[in-house]
Amino acid sequence: MLYKATLRLKENKGPSTSSTSESCICRVVNFDRITNYVIEDYLVELAKFEALKFRKYMVPTIGYLVTENGINIFQPEMISMYELLHCEDK
């Protein structure tokens, strides 16, 4: 499943803390049971794509959240959610 989300990033710069927000797409991958093997496989796949120099053809991952039921992968919003879901040429 895909969701439109806002990712809030906190930056610690010395005595002050600032935060920025970024509009992004959240891809939710659900599992019956998540184990360390699932997370390791995901990271290994990312490393393989990096080694094969496919990074320029991929949408970058700006963050992820591991829950009991799955992984939420946050990626920058390259096109609008409407275009992604409803336009046949995408």
Residues near 4 by beta carbon (within 8 Å), at least 6 away in sequence: 23, 24, 25, 26, 77, 81
Q: What CATH number did the domain enclosing 43 receive?
A: 3.30.200
pLDDT of residue 2: 79
Exposure string over 61-74, b if 16+ CB within 10 A, otherwise e: eeebeeeeebbbbb
- Where does residue 50 fall: left (phi above 0), alpha (psi -120 to 50 degrees), or beta otherwise? alpha
pTM as predicted: 0.65
Q: How far apart are CA 2 and CA 73, in angstroms?
A: 10
Domain count, the chain: 1
- Name the residue range of residue 51's domain: 2-86
Q: What is the pLDDT along the chain (90 residues), one digit of tens a residue?
A: 778 888 777 776 666 666 777 788 888 888 887 778 878 888 898 888 888 888 777 778 888 888 888 888 888 877 776 776 777 665
Residues near 60 by beta carbon (within 8 Å), at least 6 away in sequence: 75, 76
